[in-house]
Amino acid sequence: IAAYHGYPPQCKHGDRDVACCVHGDLNFPAWHRLLVVQLEQALKEKGLAIGIPYWDWTEELHHLPDLVSKR
């Protein structure tokens, strides 16, 4: 799953192998959803009962959540 973002480069672009990330492309929303679903499935297969953090961008933000602002 980690290779989706490009290392090692496994996606074909012409005659080259490149990163499989499609940021900035019209296909990004569907591609990224597939990545998240496959990550969730992989975690379940390992028996891990954890969640993936979700940032609700529709709510007004007054400060960064502790998850991203504290070390």
Give strand pairing partners of 18.
11
Q: Which residues pair with 12 in a beta bridge?
A: 17
Please give the tally of structural domains in the chain: 1
Tokens found for residue 7 = 């290392």
> What is the model's pLDDT at position 13?
76
Residue 1: the pLDDT is 55
Range(s) of the domain holding residue 50: 2-69
In angstroms, the Cα distances linking 4 to 11, 20, 21, 43, 68 are: 9, 5, 6, 16, 22
The mean pLDDT values, 10 residues at a time, for the chain of 71 residues are 62 78 72 78 83 77 75 68
- The count of residues in the chain is 71
DSSP state of 7: S
Q: What is the reported pLDDT for 4?
A: 58
